[in-house]
């Protein structure tokens, strides 16, 4: 009875948000890790779209609820998480731009969601691998002709610097998931990973995987172009927590700057401001075409259940609520109709004929 009504409400809410083009926000709670005591969890009741956080007395005893498009509890499998992401990924092949990014403090599970754990099994494959598998699979099934996917792996370190965000020279054509995995491993090796006090696998850079899709609808001759960014963001925690020093601190501050630039862009979009400060960081420049209103955007926000993570957990969820309130307008297809294409070809052949005469 009651749960059904809740579920129906959630579906309706998601449909309305889709129409308005809101950024979708999925929240994922990491389970306690082996060896951790689960008696001190800050996560109370969870349902499909709501999460209640219990604040320990030190932080003012009470609880606070947050609503998102979807909430995944600590026992959600990688497959379950992906099944709610799949429709978005398929729309890349219909010519939409898609951006999926993972946000949260170091250790909350961003890399787990996007790539999987260190020791990968088929069940633990993350969104990246599943998305690519899907793209290859569907593009082979469909009658339309698809060119090989073009892939770009990029790590943004010094993100407060302005300048060209995407060196397109890195674009590599790929025909299978294995090739992409190899490319990503290369990217992994180049990443600035260092031991901080919080987590020795902590990563201080944003890691982006961009996939360009180009194809032609056989029936209409229309050219479709889609692009997908999969972004594993650097940790969102405040710098002092990780006791970073020297170069490490400098790097962390740069990263924080780019995350706050992301926050500024999202605020400006939420307020429908006439100036959106995309150019303030490489990250926001890279994501401009995905945050600018014609794309479908999904943010996974990750939280840790431990009591001592409570202040990061609350600030993460507040940020996520702000993101969820941004209306981008309905997404649009990058589609060139057969007619336009024909005209383009005519122009090209006329130009060629002219050139010959000269």
Q: Could you tell me which residues are annotated as the binding site for ATP?
A: 104-111
**Minimum distance, C-beta of residue 114 to Mg ion, in the bound complex (Å):** 8
Decide: is 204 part of the binding site for ligand ADP (CB under 6 A): no
Residue nearest to ligand ADP (CB): 109
Query: Which segment (158-166, 184-192, 199-207, 285-293) binds ligand ADP by CB under 6 A?
Result: 199-207
Decide: is 109 part of the binding site for ligand ADP (CB under 6 A): yes
Decide if 208 contacts 154 (C-beta within 8 A): yes
Distance CA 221, CA 215 (A): 10
Decide: is 107 part of the binding site for ligand ADP (CB under 6 A): yes
Distance spanning both ends of the chain, measured CA to CA? 78
**Minimum distance, C-beta of residue 237 to Mg ion, in the bound complex (Å):** 12
Query: Which segment (12-20, 83-91, 107-115, 334-342) binds ligand ADP by CB under 6 A?
Result: 107-115
Distance CA 339, CA 345 (A): 10
- CA dihedral (232, 309, 70, 68) positive or negative: negative
Decide: is 31 part of the binding site for ligand ADP (CB under 6 A): yes
Q: What is the DSSP string of 206-243?
A: EEEEEEEEEEE-TTT--EEEEEEEEEEPPP-S-GGGGT
Rule CB under 6 A: choose which of 21, 49, 95, 104 binds ligand ADP.
Answer: 104
Rule CB under 6 A: choose which of 23, 99, 108, 223 binds ligand ADP.
Answer: 108
Decide: is 206 part of the binding site for ligand ADP (CB under 6 A): no
Q: To the nearest 10°, the Cα dihedral for 171, 175, 179, 184?
A: 40
With 0-12 / 13-18 / 19 or more C-beta atoms within 10 angstroms meaning exposed / middle / buried, residue 351 is exposed
**Minimum distance, C-beta of residue 33 to Mg ion, in the bound complex (Å):** 14
Tell me, by CB under 5 A, how many residues bind Mg ion. Answer: 3
Largest CA distance in the chain: 84
- CB of 33 or CB of 171, closer to ligand ADP: 33
Distance CA 268, CA 252 (A): 24
Enumerate the known binding-site residues.
Answer: 104-111
Decide if 112 contacts 81 (C-beta within 8 A): no
Q: Interaction with ligand ADP in 132-191: which residues (CB under 6 A)?
A: none
- Angle, nearest 10°, between helix axes 310-324 and 246-270? 30
Decide: is 201 part of the binding site for ligand ADP (CB under 6 A): yes
Residue span 174-213 as binding mask against Mg ion, x where in contact by CB under 5 A, dash where not: -----------------------------x----------
Report the Cα 85 to chain-centroid distance in Å.
11
Other Cβ atoms closer than 10 A to 158: 16
Q: What residues pair up with 298 in beta bridges, in sequence order?
A: 24, 100
Rule CB under 5 A: choose which of 42, 78, 111, 236 binds Mg ion.
Answer: 111
**Minimum distance, C-beta of residue 293 to ligand ADP, in the bound complex (Å):** 28
- CB of 192 or CB of 249, closer to Mg ion: 192
- The interface partner of residue 302, options being ligand ADP, Mg ion, none and the CB cut-off 5 to 8 Å by kind, is ligand ADP
Under 8 Å CB-to-CB from 260, ≥6 apart: which residues?
A: none
**Minimum distance, C-beta of residue 232 to Mg ion, in the bound complex (Å):** 6
Distance CA 141, CA 181 (A): 22
Rule CB under 6 A: choose which of 101, 112, 136, 278 binds ligand ADP.
Answer: 112
Tell me, by CB under 6 A, how many residues bind ligand ADP. Answer: 17
- The interface partner of residue 297, options being Mg ion, ligand ADP, none and the CB cut-off 5 to 8 Å by kind, is none
Contacts with Mg ion by CB under 5 A lie at: 110-111, 203
Contacts with ligand ADP by CB under 6 A lie at: 30-31, 33, 104, 106-112, 117, 199, 201-202, 235, 302
């Amino acid at each position: 009875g009651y749960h059904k009504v809740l579920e129906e409400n959630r579906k309706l809410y998601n449909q309305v948000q889709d129409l308005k083009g809101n950024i979708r926000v999925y929240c994922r709670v990491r389970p306690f890790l082996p060896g951790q005591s689960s008696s001190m969890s800050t996560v109370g009741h969870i349902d499909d779209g709501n999460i209640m956080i219990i604040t320990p007395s030190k932080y003012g005893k009470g609880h606070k609820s947050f609503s998102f498009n979807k909430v995944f509890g600590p026992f959600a499998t990688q497959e379950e998480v992906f099944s709610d992401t799949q429709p978005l990924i398929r729309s890349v092949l219909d010519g939409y731009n898609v951006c999926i990014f993972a946000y949260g403090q170091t250790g909350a599970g961003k890399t787990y969601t996007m790539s999987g754990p260190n020791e990968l099994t088929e069940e633990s494959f993350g969104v990246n691998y599943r998305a690519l598998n899907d793209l290859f699979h569907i593009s082979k099934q469909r009658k339309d002709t698809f060119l090989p996917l073009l892939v770009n792996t990029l790590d943004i370190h010094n993100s407060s610097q302005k300048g060209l965000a995407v060196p397109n020279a890195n674009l590599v054509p790929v025909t299978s998931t294995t090739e992409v995995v190899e490319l990503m491993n290369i990217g992994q090796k180049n990443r600035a990973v260092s031991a901080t006090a919080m987590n020795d696998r902590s990563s201080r850079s944003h890691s982006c995987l961009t996939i360009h899709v180009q194809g032609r609808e056989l029936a209409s001759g229309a050219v479709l172009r889609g692009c997908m960014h999969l972004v594993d963001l650097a940790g969102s925690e405040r710098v002092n927590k990780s006791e970073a020093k020297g170069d490490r601190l400098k790097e962390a501050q740069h990263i924080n700057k780019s995350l706050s630039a992301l926050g500024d862009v999202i605020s400006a979009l939420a307020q429908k401001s006439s100036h959106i400060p995309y150019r303030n960081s490489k990250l926001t420049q890279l994501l401009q075409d995905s945050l600018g209103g014609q794309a479908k955007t999904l943010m996974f926000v990750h939280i840790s259940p431990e009591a001592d993570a409570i202040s990061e957990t609350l600030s993460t969820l507040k940020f996520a609520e702000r993101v969820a309130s941004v209306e981008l307008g309905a997404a649009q297809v990058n589609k060139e109709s057969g007619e336009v294409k024909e005209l383009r070809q005519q122009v090209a052949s006329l130009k060629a004929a002219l050139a010959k005469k000269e």
